[in-house]
Amino acid sequence: MIKIKNEKQIELLEKAGEIVYDTHQELKKHIKCGITTDELNDIAESYIISQNATPSFKNYHGYPKSICTSINEEVVHGIPSNRKLKNGDIVSIDIGAYYKGYHSDSAWTYPVGDISEDKAILLEKTENSLYKGLEVIKEGCTTGDIGNAIESYLKKYNLGIVEVLVGHGVGSELHEPPDIPNYGKKKTGPVLKAGMVIAVEPMINLGAKEVLMLEDEWTIVTADGKPSVHFEHTVLVLKEGFKILTKR
């Protein structure tokens, strides 16, 4: 069952979304060569707690940290560590905040110093694909319409759309129904209604779509070792359109 949120719940989801957005803005200032992903984790955790929220990911199915930091060929769920960011890296930062019973979830991929043209194109096209997916959202659209919009936009760039990981509903649980694939056919899948809240999150590879899990049982990497990026917003479905909750 896909939950429809009431006005009070939407207010809390909006607040949770603002906290996630503000945490991204805070971290952005610190993304430079030499900083470790543990340091980024700690900055995010302190900021979220200062806003009377808690990090959604910490202890989620045993996840050990407060954010995910996925570098280069790491697709998602990279665990912060003493690894330092270096010039030319790209780092996907995934942040969740839980505020008064409601979650919000947003990921963004950032360049570190000067990055290759290939990586820059991958960043640009994937960010664009997220907005292409969002633009079709309104009451009556289907999850397949969203996936189709993302896939259709990306078709001409010959990138790998990760299929085994998908977006999701968001609410009192971090992951709620429905799944939101980043590919698909129009008019397939569940129909969305006003008041539903979903996270749309294309994960796109410079090479093939195949991914593997590392021995830490969290980090997902591309099978061919090529870079991958991740952009995610949590959005509210409206009668006419949508509202991005993870921004201001």
Compute the least distance from the CB of residue 195 to ligand MF3, in Å.
21
Q: Which residue has the tokens 């409206």?
A: 238
Number of chain positions touching Co ion (CB under 5 A): 2
Tokens standing for residue 161: 């759309």
User: 64-83 mask for ligand MF3 (x: CB under 6 A)?
Assistant: ----x--------x------
* Position 20 contacts Co ion (CB under 5 A): no
Tell me the window of 64-72, 178-186, 193-201, 219-227 that interacts with Co ion (CB under 5 A). 193-201
199 contacts Co ion (rule: CB under 5 A) = yes
Which position among 26, 31, 35, 60 is part of the footprint of ligand MF3 (CB under 6 A)? 60
Nearer to Co ion, 105 or 145 (CB): 105
Instruction: Please choose, out of 9-17, 48-56, 116-124, 195-203, the segment that lies near Co ion by the rule CB under 5 A.
Output: 195-203
Query: Distance (Å, rounded) from C-alpha 130 to C-alpha 119?
Result: 17
Site for ligand MF3 contains 63 (CB under 6 A): yes
Out of Co ion, ligand MF3, none, which partner does residue 18 contact, by CB within 5 to 8 A per kind?
none
DSSP the chain: ------HHHHHHHHHHHHHHHHHHHHHHTT-STT-BHHHHHHHHHHHHHHTT-EESSTTGGG--SSEEEEETTEEE-PPP-SPBP-TT-EEEEEEEEEETTEEEEEEEEEE-SS--HHHHHHHHHHHHHHHHHHHT-STT-BHHHHHHHHHHHHGGGT-EE--SS-EEE-SSSSSEEEEE-SS--TT-SPBP-TT-EEEE--EEESS-S-EEE-TTSS-EEETT---EEE-BEEEEEETTEEEESS--
Is 97 near Co ion (CB under 5 A)?
Answer: no
Q: Is 18 in the site for ligand MF3 (CB under 6 A)?
A: no
Q: Which of 174, 148, 175, 144 has its CA nearest to residue 161?
A: 148
Q: How far is the CB of 232 from Co ion (least distance, A)?
A: 5
| Segment lying near Co ion (by CB under 5 A), choices 18-26, 53-61, 132-140, 197-205 | 197-205
Q: Which of 14, 45, 105, 176 binds ligand MF3 (CB under 6 A)?
A: 105
Give which of Co ion, ligand MF3, none residue 131 binds (C-beta under 5 to 8 Å, depending on kind).
Answer: none
82 to 101, contacts with ligand MF3 by CB under 6 A? Answer: 94, 96
* Chain contacts with Co ion (rule: CB under 5 A): 105, 199
